[in-house]
């Protein structure tokens, strides 16, 4: 991956890279397996840049972990460019390998797709979903892009079907911590980290609410914990009080991501299909 800069002020190259959010790890990797070129000549980070210089930065190549097994199955791609790939995942698929599910994860499926496209790329997960939550997942095509995305606000919207009739809209402001009796489960606890979830009821029918949700923070299991906390567990969520005879996974879907592109510097809005959850709501 290559970046080109027109230098408009005198500056040491190392300082320039740091100011443009190249991390120490990225700079170190470039030194070992990449290139810094000014006006066609290879240089080091100690190079003093002057006005009018043309700087080319070649990022180091990355090698995927040998533990990842490329998984070739058609992806539902919502957006792709040289830096990011955004897909829609189904329920029952991990974003990354876990102890209980070693393979067939999103990252391995994306790796298989990139291999087919003859792109020698190591994908990095930017946003992730629980195994049994469906919808939008974003991955970066290089560790540097992943690092840039870690400093960018990503707005996320979800749809869910929950038990009972919720308020028309509301803000759930309740800190979340690990459950004292589980390594997986979370709970509302005053000693936990701040967690805020905004919701709006879109519809109500036969004892169930269809809600649109906006995350203001990003804690593990946040939506699931918060909806249990307000007495409206998500349908199908056996871990948080929403067990249902017809649905074995939580009816929760990430349907929209919006963010400022780290390279193009333009607002990107990605939408997934709403009808998957809405269809179930009309049938439940």
End-to-end CA distance of the chain: 48
The Cα–Cα gap between 10 and 49 comes to 5
**Catalytic hit among 130, 237, 246, 275:** 130
Taking the CA atoms of residue 247, residue 86, residue 144 and residue 39 in that order, the dihedral angle to the nearest 10 degrees is 180
The Cα–Cα gap between 217 and 133 comes to 17
How far is CA 277 from its chain centroid? 20
Give the ranges where the chain is alpha helix by DSSP (H).
13-19, 24-33, 106-116, 143-149, 222-229, 275-283
What's the CA angle centered on 248, arms 223 and 72, to 5 degrees?
Answer: 90
How far is CA 159 from its chain centroid? 17
Residue 177 β-bridge partners: 187
The Cα–Cα gap between 227 and 172 comes to 8
Q: Look up residue 108 and give its two tokens.
A: 């391995």
The Cα–Cα gap between 21 and 15 comes to 10
- Burial tier of 64 (Cβ tally within 10 Å: 0-12, 13-18, 19+): middle
Annotation says 130 is catalytic: yes
- Give me the active site residues, please: 130
């Amino acid at each position: 991956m290559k970046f080109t800069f027109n230098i408009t002020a005198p500056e040491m190259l190392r300082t320039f890279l740091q100011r443009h959010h190249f991390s120490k790890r990225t700079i170190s990797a470039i030194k070992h397996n990449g290139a810094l070129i000014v006006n066609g000549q290879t240089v080091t980070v100690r190079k003093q840049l002057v006005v009018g210089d043309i700087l080319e930065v070649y990022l180091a190549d990355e090698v995927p972990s040998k533990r990842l097994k490329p998984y070739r199955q058609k992806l539902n791609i919502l957006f792709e460019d040289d830096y990011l790939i955004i897909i829609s995942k189904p329920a029952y698929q991990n974003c990354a390998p876990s102890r209980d599910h070693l393979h067939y994860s999103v990252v391995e499926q994306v790796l298989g797709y990139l291999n087919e496209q003859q792109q020698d790329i190591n994908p990095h997960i930017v946003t992730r979903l629980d195994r049994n939550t469906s919808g939008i997942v974003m991955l970066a095509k290089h560790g540097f892009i992943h690092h840039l995305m870690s400093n960018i606000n990503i707005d996320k919207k979800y749809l869910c079907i929950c038990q009972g009739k919720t308020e028309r809209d509301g803000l759930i402001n309740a800190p979340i911590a690990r459950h004292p009796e589980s390594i997986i489960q979370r709970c509302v606890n005053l000693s936990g980290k701040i967690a805020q979830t905004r919701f709006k009821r879109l519809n109500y029918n036969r004892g169930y609410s269809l809600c649109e949700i906006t995350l203001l923070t990003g804690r593990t299991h946040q939506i699931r914990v918060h909806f249990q906390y307000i007495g409206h567990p998500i349908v199908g969520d056996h871990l948080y009080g929403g067990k249902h005879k017809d649905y074995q996974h939580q009816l929760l879907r990430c349907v929209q991501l919006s963010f400022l592109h780290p390279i193009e510097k333009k607002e990107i809005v990605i939408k997934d299909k709403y009808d998957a959850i809405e269809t179930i709501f009309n049938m439940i």
